[in-house]
């Protein structure tokens, strides 16, 4: 493959047809089913899939087959199958992944910007779904067309574009699992997986996701009486459900340090991941978050912050019930208190085993004999990337040398990508490249989401180079 020629082809595409079509995709309010119960009748998810399918077909990749799959009760998925070039010798196939569903608007956008209004400013495309994850379909397809145009090769390549990813982190991605089962025979022998739903700490190099923490979510309810009572009459006699809740939380987490106290939530940190954290550290990691003046991060050492965020368990309380708004609160001792708990767990922890340990800790010898229920569990296992094969290491070296001018870097991330764990189990012998266009300030899931167009072009070239190297890896 002529790398310089491919980069020129990619630049022309991104400056023209790609940007135009991606902007039109931003205009479609294809909010994930998690946030739009009426998604099926609204038709926006299907409109997004139809739009991208039409664009891919217009690129006229030889032999390409595009199919929209709609399993009953599931959000649609676009399946694209591209036959291998004649020069490819690899026996396995490539699988490229992205998603087309979006987060809601989530608050007020800056002047002149809006979630469904594509705006290009200073090399950035603003709009919901631009960087999360609409660009993926365009980067993957453009990489294939560019490498073909410049003498490159690729093995048989499959592109999966789902519309349930934003729902997946809250549910374990049941739609994707159902589609993978449905497509099992058609996918064949996958030997390279490229997930384009990740990112890194800057836009100066290709960042590779080396691991993903898993997640456990559960609703914890403490009940002490059949009805709420006047605190002046019942206080001191009837135990407080809130105080019992505090005692139970102390069983789970050291409130002074945040360390999770349940042994099953921990796993040894591999030496290579510690070394990776050391290489990825940079001063002021915590500065990318809007901490209030005087608020200190969880650790002073940047390496420890990275390990906290990637290989150690953590608890967040993400919801509550049983307590009225402060402005409306009366002198009432409430019958029950409910919290929604969200744990992030290390990649090597078995989510089911950890959840069973959690239930045992919360329901054994409960203070005052209060009634405790642990309900609505959501379990997602984490994932850790296999060591790269020599051909992939060489290709990544070329990506660093010829495309970015900086070596590739690995990093674990906290956010859930259920696809990776699902494919990791189904394709244990495949090589994995989890990467993407997200940067630390891309405004993921919040107002003013944006895509760095220069970086998107570089990422597209990196995909082309990696896929081309795989084509003759056997």
| Domains in the chain: ranges and CATH | 3-212+382-470 (3.40.630.10), 214-281+301-380 (3.30.70.360)
- The pair of structure tokens assigned to 447 is 């107002």
Decide the pairing of beta strands 431-434 and 190-195.
parallel
- The pair of structure tokens assigned to 127 is 């709009």
> How far is Cα 139 from Cα 194, in angstroms, rounded to an integer?
11
> How far is Cα 309 from Cα 91, in angstroms, rounded to an integer?
38
- The pair of structure tokens assigned to 295 is 């608020």
- Give the torsion sign (CA, 424, 426, 430, 436): negative
The conformation of residue 100, written as its DSSP 8-state character, comes to -
Residue listed under structure tokens 């850790």: 384
SS3 label, residue 243: helix
What does each C-alpha distance from 436 to 114, 201, 264, 294, 458 come to in angstroms?
A: 23, 11, 32, 33, 11
| CB atoms near residue 300 (< 10 Å) | 9
What does each C-alpha distance from 34 to 40, 338, 378 come to in angstroms?
A: 12, 22, 14
- The pair of structure tokens assigned to 176 is 């994707």
Give residue 173's pLDDT: 63
> How far is Cα 36 from Cα 381, in angstroms, rounded to an integer?
26
Give residue 472's pLDDT: 93
Nearest to 164 by CA among 17, 273, 32: 32
CB 190 within 8 A of CB 430: yes
The conformation of residue 328, written as its DSSP 8-state character, comes to G
CB-count exposure of residue 177 (10 Å: 0-12, 13-18, 19+)? middle
Q: Name the phi and psi angles at 384, rounded to 5.
A: -130, 130
Give residue 347's pLDDT: 92
Residue listed under structure tokens 């574009």: 161
- Give the torsion sign (CA, 245, 249, 255, 258): negative
> How far is Cα 380 from Cα 216, in angstroms, rounded to an integer?
6
What does each C-alpha distance from 348 to 270, 313, 351 come to in angstroms?
A: 10, 11, 9
Nearest to 356 by CA among 427, 293, 265: 265
- The pair of structure tokens assigned to 226 is 């059949």
The conformation of residue 78, written as its DSSP 8-state character, comes to E
CB 166 within 8 A of CB 68: no
> How far is Cα 261 from Cα 249, in angstroms, rounded to an integer?
10
> How far is Cα 209 from Cα 194, in angstroms, rounded to an integer?
11
Give residue 289's pLDDT: 81
> How far is Cα 111 from Cα 215, in angstroms, rounded to an integer?
36
- The pair of structure tokens assigned to 458 is 């570089």
CB 253 within 8 A of CB 261: yes
Give residue 403's pLDDT: 97
Give residue 168's pLDDT: 55
Residues of the chain with pLDDT under 70: 166-173, 283, 415-416
Using CA atoms of 41, 133, 62, 2 in order, give the dihedral in degrees to the nearest 10.
170
Give residue 141's pLDDT: 98
């Amino acid at each position: 493959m002529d790398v310089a020629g491919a980069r020129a082809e990619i630049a022309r595409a991104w400056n023209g047809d790609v940007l135009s079509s991606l902007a039109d995709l931003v205009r479609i309010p294809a909010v994930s089913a998690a946030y739009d119960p009426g998604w099926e009748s609204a038709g926006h998810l299907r409109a997004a899939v139809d739009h991208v399918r039409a664009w891919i077909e217009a690129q006229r990749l030889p032999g390409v087959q595009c199919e929209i799959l709609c399993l009953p009760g599931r959000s649609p998925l676009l399946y694209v199958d591209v036959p291998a070039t004649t020069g490819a010798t690899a026996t396995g196939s490539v699988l490229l992944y992205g998603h087309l569903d979006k987060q809601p608007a989530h608050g007020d956008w800056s002047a002149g910007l809006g979630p469904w209004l594509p705006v290009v400013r200073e090399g950035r495309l603003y709009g919901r779904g631009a960087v999360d994850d609409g660009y993926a379909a365009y980067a993957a397809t453009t990489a294939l067309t560019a490498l073909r145009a410049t003498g490159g090769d690729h093995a048989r390549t499959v592109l999966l574009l789902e519309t349930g990813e934003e729902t997946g982190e809250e549910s374990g991605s049941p739609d994707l699992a159902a589609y993978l089962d449905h497509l099992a025979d058609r996918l064949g022998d996958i030997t390279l997986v490229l997930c384009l739903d990740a990112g890194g700490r800057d836009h100066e190099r290709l960042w590779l996701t080396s691991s993903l923490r898993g997640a456990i979510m559960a609703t914890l309810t403490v009940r002490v009486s059949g009805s709420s009572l006047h605190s002046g009459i019942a206080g001191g006699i009837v135990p407080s459900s809130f105080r019992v809740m505090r005692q139970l939380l102390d069983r789970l987490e050291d409130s002074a340090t945040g360390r999770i106290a349940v042994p099953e939530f921990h796993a040894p940190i591999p030496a290579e991941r510690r070394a990776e954290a050391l290489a990825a550290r940079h001063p002021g990691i915590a500065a990318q978050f809007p901490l209030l003046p005087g608020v200190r991060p969880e650790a002073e050492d940047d390496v420890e912050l990275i390990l906290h965020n990637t290989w150690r368990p953590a608890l967040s309380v993400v919801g509550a019930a049983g307590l009225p708004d402060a402005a409306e609160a009366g002198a009432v001792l409430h019958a029950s208190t409910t919290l929604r708990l969200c744990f992030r767990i290390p990649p090597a922890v078995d989510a089911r085993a950890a959840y069973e340990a959690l239930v045992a800790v919360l329901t054994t010898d409960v203070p005052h004999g209060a009634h405790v229920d642990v309900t609505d569990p959501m379990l997602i296992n984490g994932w850790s990337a296999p060591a790269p094969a020599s051909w992939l290491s060489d290709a990544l070296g070329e990506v660093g040398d010829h495309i970015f001018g900086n070596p590739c870097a690995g990093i674990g991330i906290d956010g859930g990508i259920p696809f990776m764990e699902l494919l990791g189990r189904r394709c244990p012998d495949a090589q994995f490249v989890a990467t993407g266009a997200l940067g630390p300030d891309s405004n993921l899931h919040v107002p003013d989401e944006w895509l760095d167009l220069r970086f998107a072009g570089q990422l597209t070239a990196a995909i082309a180079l990696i896929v081309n190297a795989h084509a003759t890896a056997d």
